[in-house]
Chain A
Amino acid sequence: MTDGMFSADAMFMLAVLGMTVATYTLRAGGYWVMGRLPLTQRVRRGLEALPGAIIVSTILPIVLQGGLAVGLCLIVAAAAQIKLRKEYIAVFCAAAAAAGMRAAGI
Chain B
Amino acid sequence: MLERSVTLSFKGCVQGALLCMPGFPGVVALGMVFGTVAAQKGLTFLETIMINSLVFAGASQFVAMEVYSDPLTWGSLIAMVGVTAAVNMRMLLIGASLRPWLGQVPAYKTYPALYFLTDLNWLISLSEYEKGTRDWGVYLGSGLFTWTVWSLSVIPGYFAGSLISDPKAFGLDVILPAFFSALLVPLWKGKRQTVSWLVAGAVATTTWALVGGYWSIFTGAIAGALAGAYLDD
Contacts and interface: CB of A to CB of B under 8 A. Distances in A.
Chain A bound to chain B: yes
Interface of A: 4-9, 11-20, 22-24, 26-35, 42-64, 66, 70, 73-78, 80-82, 85, 87-88, 90-92, 94-100, 102-103
B217 A58 contact: yes
A78 B181 contact: yes
A98 B184 contact: no
Given A9-B72, A91-B23, A56 B50 contact: no
Interface string B108-132: 0011001101010001001000000
A11 B81 CA distance: 12
A17 B64 CA distance: 13
B185 interface: yes
Nearest to B52: A16
B17 to A, nearest CB: 14
Interface string B93-115: 11111111011000000110011
Contacts, number: 306
A26 B180 CA distance: 21
Nearest to A34: B99
B22 A56 contact: no
A49 B225 contact: yes
Question: Interface majority SS on B: helix, strand, loop or mixed?
Answer: helix
B50 to A, nearest CB: 5
Interface of B: 21-23, 25-26, 43-47, 50-51, 54-57, 60, 64, 68, 71-73, 76-78, 80-81, 84-85, 88-100, 102-103, 110-111, 114-115, 117, 119, 123, 126, 168-175, 177-188, 192-193, 196-197, 199-201, 203-205, 208-209, 214, 216-231
B114 A28 contact: yes
A24 B81 CA distance: 12
The 9 closest A-B pairs by CB, nearest first: A49-B228, A53-B224, A57-B220, A98-B171, A46-B229, A94-B178, A30-B95, A30-B96, A30-B92
A64 B216 CA distance: 12
A103 B203 CA distance: 34
B182 A18 contact: no
B173 to A, nearest CB: 7
Nearest to A82: B185
Nearest to A74: B181
A15 B216 contact: no
Contact of A56 (B77, B81, B182, B197): B197
B220 A23 contact: no
